[in-house]
Amino acid sequence: MGNRFTCMTKKETKDVGSRSKRMGRSQRKLVAEEDLHLQALSMALQQHQLSQRFEGSMSRRIGSTSSRRRNLSDSFSVNKQVQVPEILENIKIKKFVLIHGEGFGAWCWYKTVALLEESGLLPIALDLTGSGIDLTDANSVTTLAEYSKPLTDYLVNLPDDEKVILIGHSIGGACISYALEHYSEKISKAIFLCATMVTDGQRPFDVFADELGSAEHFMKESKFLIHGNGKEKPPTGFMFEKEQMKGLYFNQSPSKDVALAMVSMRPSPLGPIMEKLSLSPNKYGRGRRFYIQTLDDRALSPDVQEKLVRENPPEGVFKIKGSDHCPFFSKPQSLHKILVEIAQIP
C-alpha cells in the first residue's frame, strides 16, 4: 500500500509558512490594538466611577481619577509585536503637544500618542483646565487664559533652546492661537485640526455661528447650557446630550471609541469660547500655521473649515477624506501621516 500522505514541495512549504507568518502578524496587531483600547476604556470607566462622588454643580460632569496630573503617554503601553512605523530620524522638532477640544481630554489622543511614539517622536497630551482628569470645576473657568493654563505652564517651563509642535483640535485651536500670541518663540509649528482658527478680535464661538446661530441667541435659547451658579445667573458651561454628541462628533468613529467618549466627555466652560482674541501680526502673525480639514465633519462643516482657511490663510492645508470631527478616532493613520509630513517640512 502506497504512502497515505502527500508530500509538499519546498515552494509549497515556503508559501504556507509565509501565509502563517502574515496571519500571525495580523492577529498580533489586532490583539495589540484591542489591548490599547481596553486600557483607554478602563481608564475612562475608572474616571466615571470616581466622578459619582462629586455633588452640586459638579454632579453632571464625567471626571477625575486623581489630583496628580498625568501625561497620557505614561498611561498606555504599546505591544512591541505590532509592526511599527518607520523611525523618523530627520525630524528636528520631536516634541508634539496635543491639545484637545471642547468636552474632551488628553484621553482622546491615545491612538495618536501611540503612533507618534512608535515613530520615535515625543508626544505629550495635556488636559486643559477643568478637562480630562483635572479636578477644576469647569463652571469656574471663565477666561481663555485660565482654560489654557496647562499649555502655557508647559511652554513657560520649556528650556530656552527647545521648541514644540502644537496640535489643537476644535476649540483647542483657540488655545494654540493664544499660545502663538504669547509664546511664539517656543512654537515651531501650530497645527489646527478641524479647529477654531480665529482672526484678531474674533471669538472661538463665532466659528460655529453658522451651525449654532449667534452667540446672543445661543446664550438665551440653547438647551445645552449649564448654569453652575444658579438659573438666575448667566450660564457657565455647556454640554451636548449623548445622542447629539454621537451625531455631531462621531459619525465615522468606531463604536468602541464612541463608548470611550460617552463615559469620558465633560462639560465645557463657556467663558473661554465667548472671549475675543487679541492677535497681533508681529507675534501670532509670524507663527507657522497649518490646517487639517475633515471632510465628513458634522460639527464643523467642510464649508466652514474652507472659509476659515480662506479668511485666515495658513502655510499649508491638508484634508482627510471620510473623517468625522474626531480623526484621532475615525482616521488615526491618516492623521498620523499628515502630522509627520508637516513635521518634516523645513
Active site residue 169: no
15-344 has CATH 3.40.50.1820 classification: yes
Res. 187 pLDDT band, cuts 50 70 90:
very high
Confidence (pLDDT) at 202: 94
Q: Give per-residue burial for 176-188: e unless 16+ CB within 10 Å, then b.
A: bbbbbbbbbebbe
State the DSSP H helix or E strand holding residue 166, giving kind and residue range, or none if neither: strand 164-169
Q: What are 297-326's pLDDT values in tens digits?
A: 999 999 999 999 999 999 999 999 999 999
pLDDT at position 13 over 50: no
Question: For 260-283, what is each residue's pLDDT tens digit?
Answer: 999 999 999 999 999 999 999 999
* Mean pLDDT of the region 177-202: 97
Average pLDDT value for residue range 8-26: 48
> pLDDT-based confidence at 75, cuts 50/70/90?
very low
What's the pLDDT at 16? 45
- Residue 140 pLDDT greater than 80, yes or no: yes
Q: Which span out of 6-20, 137-151, 198-212 was modeled with the highest average pLDDT? A: 137-151
Note the pLDDT tens digit of each residue in 108-131: 999 999 999 999 999 999 999 999
Amino acid at 127: D
Q: Where are the domains of the chain?
A: 15-344
Q: Quick count: other Cβ atoms within 10 Å of Cβ 1?
A: 3
Exposure string for 18-39, b = 16+ CB within 10 A, e = fewer: eeeeeeeeeeeeeebbeebbee
What's the pTM? 0.77
Q: In what order do the strands lie in the sheet with 268-269?
A: 225-226, 237-238, 268-269
Q: Which of 236, 257, 245, 228 is nearest to 54 (CA)?
A: 228
Amino acid 217: pLDDT: 55
Q: Which of 22-26, 67-71, 124-128, 279-283 has the lowest mean pLDDT?
A: 67-71
Q: Which residue of the set 75, 170, 301, 330 is catalytic?
A: 170
Q: What is the pLDDT of residue 208?
A: 82
Average pLDDT score, the chain: 81
Instruction: Give CA–CA dist 320/309, Å, rounded.
Output: 15
User: Residue 319 belongs to what H/E stretch?
Assistant: strand 316-320
Q: For 180-304, list the strands marked E by DSSP.
A: 187-193, 225-226, 237-238, 268-269, 289-294
Q: Answer whether residue 65 shows pLDDT above 50.
A: no
Known catalytic residue at 119: no
For residue 234, is pLDDT > 80? yes
The one catalytic residue in 148, 297, 323, 334 is: 297
Residue 211's pLDDT is 65
Catalytic residue among 325, 330, 334, 336: 325
* Mean pLDDT of the region 188-206: 96
Q: What's the rounded Cα separation, in Å, for the pair 340 and 333?
A: 11
What percent of the chain has pLDDT above 90?
65
Residue 91 is predicted with a pLDDT of 85
* Cell numbers found for residue 257: 471609541
pLDDT at position 55, please?
Answer: 32
pLDDT tens-place string over residues 255-264? 999 999 999 9
pLDDT of residue 143: 97
